[in-house]
């Protein structure tokens, strides 16, 4: 192959036998010698977005050079110009670079004709739908034009990427947008407007832009919670659509392979871009789950707080709460596995109290007994209520919470703060109907997504790894059903919904 990939670089093999044979037909020995003296490596270090597509780019550049070998000389001459840094890397200098590429490489009948025929002959799919909105509908003719642009783009991208490397630019969307604009001129189309019968010019760039805008607008209702939050940060659907459109042109379109559905391609990109924007625009901080150390063999960690309650004049209320707790435990003692209870009562190290467990138990006690703090429980009561709550979760078909009530957090996973919103986890929660329902119920709290107690609660629990634990019979206990984060989130929201 004329172009090879090596260490995130494209390298033109000037000594390729077929290439040399073709070059000898159109260039003198001195010209070929001049080509060979130029460094044939094109560095993509500043365009990591194309690293996974380097093989595709190398293959297409090889194909086009084999068809139009006369372009190797101007291609390498522009490469040498970039390496020399003769051009200043400002708006004027970049515009000159674009003009050089346009006039010396793209403005070639043989190249453009081959690209057009190559796409036309290989295209054998149909994407045309039945929609009456001509602004949004992609016809097969539009798809072919976009595929031609993508192929031509891949041919010149090594020059753009290398320029960014030489001048140390980390991001330069304008350079790629200007190049895209030049390329589309070579594959411009005219078609008959079905309503007016007039001949109209089809602007591929506007076509893509309208498609992105509509796709983004379609999420305004389904993802209303997120859009309301983004509005507080002066971000709206128009701004997001512009951002995604720019990303498609500068980073994604050159990856579009021949004979692929452009509609599916754009849908996937827009979906992923929205997921990123939705999760990157806000952060939810929460405290990681930690194990709570006990003070002695006979009491739980809350004994000191219990003493404070008594000293503060709450002795009567504390006594009444104790009565309520005892009545509740007596009523549901059949839900306590006696062997498991005796095991944990006798083996303190096996019963780990952690912040998520106490929080869930607090919610459970408040729901079933009253507004009683778990801080007022002694160790015996605490274990009994944990086992009752655990069985209740089990009967309510919440295997993750059932498991977690006696599991212990993995220390290494709980020593650092984790951002729950990095990835799809929070997006799955926020876009669910159950979250929408809960969000309305707790709207009176006046919080935004960054301080959302529901997301903080879910993030605290589902971002923590738990160890399998030893049960009373010596076996290693784990959930009977396979649990993933999505299932865990649903369980926890179901429980919140019942509070």
State whether 180 and 50 are in the same domain: yes
- End-to-end CA separation in angstroms for the chain: 66
Q: What is the pTM of this model?
A: 0.70
Write the DSSP symbol of residue 288: P
State whether 127 and 35 are in the same domain: yes
Q: End of a domain among 244, 278, 312?
A: 278
Q: Please report where in the chains the tokens 């079905």 appear, as a residue.
A: 194
* E strand segments, 402-482: 408-409, 466-467, 469-470, 476-477
Give the torsion through C-alpha atoms of 201, 268, 9, 166, to 10 deg: 60
Between β-strands 469-470 and 476-477, what pairing exists: parallel, antiparallel or unpaired? antiparallel
pLDDT of residue 416: 46
State whether 270 and 412 are in the same domain: no
State whether 406 and 428 are in the same domain: yes
Q: What angle do CA 414, 418, 421 make, to 5 degrees?
A: 145
State whether 195 and 297 are in the same domain: no
Tell me phi and psi for residue 11, to 5 degrees: -125, 120
Residue ranges making up the domain that contains 26: 3-278
Asked whether residue 97 is assigned to any structural domain, the reply reads yes
Asked whether residue 283 is assigned to any structural domain, the reply reads no
Asked whether residue 285 is assigned to any structural domain, the reply reads no
Asked whether residue 416 is assigned to any structural domain, the reply reads yes
| Dist. CA 145–CA 149, nearest whole Å | 6
- What's the number of domains the chain is made of? 2
Count of residues making up the chain: 499
State whether 335 and 223 are in the same domain: no
Burial (Cβ within 10 Å: 0-12, 13-18, ≥19) of residue 171: exposed
Asked whether residue 70 is assigned to any structural domain, the reply reads yes
What does the block give as tokens for 311? 């000293």
| Dist. CA 454–CA 284, nearest whole Å | 10
State whether 304 and 263 are in the same domain: no
State whether 303 and 355 are in the same domain: yes
Q: End of a domain among 278, 310, 335?
A: 278
Asked whether residue 353 is assigned to any structural domain, the reply reads yes
State whether 117 and 263 are in the same domain: yes
Other beta carbons within 10 Å of 235: 16
State whether 242 and 373 are in the same domain: no
Asked whether residue 231 is assigned to any structural domain, the reply reads yes
Asked whether residue 480 is assigned to any structural domain, the reply reads yes
What does the block give as tokens for 267? 């849908």
State whether 239 and 317 are in the same domain: no
Burial (Cβ within 10 Å: 0-12, 13-18, ≥19) of residue 432: middle
Other beta carbons within 10 Å of 475: 9
Q: What is the pLDDT along the chain (499 residues), one digit of tens a residue?
A: 899 999 889 999 998 999 999 999 999 999 999 999 999 999 999 999 999 999 999 999 999 999 999 999 999 999 999 999 999 989 999 999 999 999 999 999 999 999 999 999 998 888 776 455 555 578 888 899 999 999 999 999 999 999 999 999 888 899 999 999 999 999 987 777 667 777 777 788 988 999 999 999 998 887 777 787 788 778 889 999 999 999 999 999 999 998 888 999 999 999 888 888 877 766 666 666 777 765 554 445 555 444 444 444 455 666 777 788 889 999 999 999 899 899 888 887 788 888 888 888 988 998 888 888 787 788 888 999 999 999 999 998 888 888 888 888 876 544 444 455 555 667 778 778 888 788 777 666 556 666 777 888 888 887 777 777 777 787 877 666 566 777 888 888 888 888 7
Other beta carbons within 10 Å of 344: 22
Write the DSSP symbol of residue 53: G
State whether 268 and 382 are in the same domain: no
| Dist. CA 215–CA 267, nearest whole Å | 8
pLDDT of residue 297: 46
Q: End of a domain among 278, 303, 326?
A: 278
């Amino acid at each position: 192959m004329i172009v090879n990939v090596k260490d995130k670089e494209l390298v033109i093999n000037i000594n390729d036998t077929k290439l040399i044979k073709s070059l000898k037909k159109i260039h003198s020995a001195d010209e070929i010698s001049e080509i060979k003296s130029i460094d044939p490596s094109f560095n993509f270090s500043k365009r990591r977005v194309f690293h996974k597509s380097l093989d595709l780019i190398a293959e297409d550049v090889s194909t086009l050079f084999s068809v139009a070998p006369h372009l190797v000389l101007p291609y390498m001459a522009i490469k040498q110009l970039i390496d020399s840094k003769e051009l200043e890397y400002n708006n004027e200098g970049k515009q000159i670079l674009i003009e050089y590429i346009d006039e010396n490489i793209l403005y070639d009948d043989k190249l453009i004709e081959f690209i057009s025929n190559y796409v036309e002959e290989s295209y054998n799919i149909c994407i045309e739908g039945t929609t009456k909105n001509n602004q949004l509908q992609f016809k097969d003719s539009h798809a072919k034009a976009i595929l031609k642009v993508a192929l031509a783009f891949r041919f010149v991208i090594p020059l753009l990427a290398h320029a960014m490397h030489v001048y140390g630019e980390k991001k330069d969307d304008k350079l790629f947008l200007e190049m895209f604009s030049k390329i589309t001129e070579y594959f411009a189309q005219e078609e008959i407007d079905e309503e007016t019968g007039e001949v109209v010019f089809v602007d591929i760039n506007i076509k893509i832009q309208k498609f992105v805008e509509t796709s983004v607008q379609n999420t305004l209702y389904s993802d209303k919670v997120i859009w309301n939050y983004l509005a507080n940060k002066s971000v709206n659907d128009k701004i997001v659509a512009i951002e995604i459109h720019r990303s498609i042109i500068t980073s994604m379109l050159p990856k579009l392979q021949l004979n692929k559905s452009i509609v599916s391609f754009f849908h996937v990109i827009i979906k992923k871009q929205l997921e990123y924007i939705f999760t990157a625009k806000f952060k939810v901080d929460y405290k990681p789950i930690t194990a709570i150390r006990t003070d002695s063999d006979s009491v739980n960690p809350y004994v000191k707080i219990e003493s404070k309650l008594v000293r503060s004049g709450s002795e009567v209320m504390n006594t009444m709460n104790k009565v309520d707790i005892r009545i509740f435990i007596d009523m549901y003692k059949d839900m306590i596995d006696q062997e498991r209870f005796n095991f944990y009562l006798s083996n303190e190290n096996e019963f780990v109290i952690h912040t998520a467990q106490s929080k869930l138990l607090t919610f459970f006690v408040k729901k079933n007994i009253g507004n009683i703090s778990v801080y007022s429980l002694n160790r015996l009561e605490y274990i009994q209520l944990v086992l009752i709550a655990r069985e209740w979760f089990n009967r309510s078909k919440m295997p993750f919470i059932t498991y977690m009530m006696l599991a212990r957090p993995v220390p290494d996973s709980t020593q650092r703060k984790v951002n729950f919103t990095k990835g799809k986890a929070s997006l799955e929660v926020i876009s669910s109907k159950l979250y929408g329902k809960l969000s309305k119920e707790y709207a009176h709290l006046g919080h935004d997504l960054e301080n959302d107690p529901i997301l903080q609660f879910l993030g605290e629990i589902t971002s923590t790894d738990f160890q399998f634990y030893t049960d009373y019979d010596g076996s290693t206990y784990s959930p009977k059903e396979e649990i993933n984060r999505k299932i865990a989130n649903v369980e926890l929201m179901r429980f919140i919904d019942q509070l």
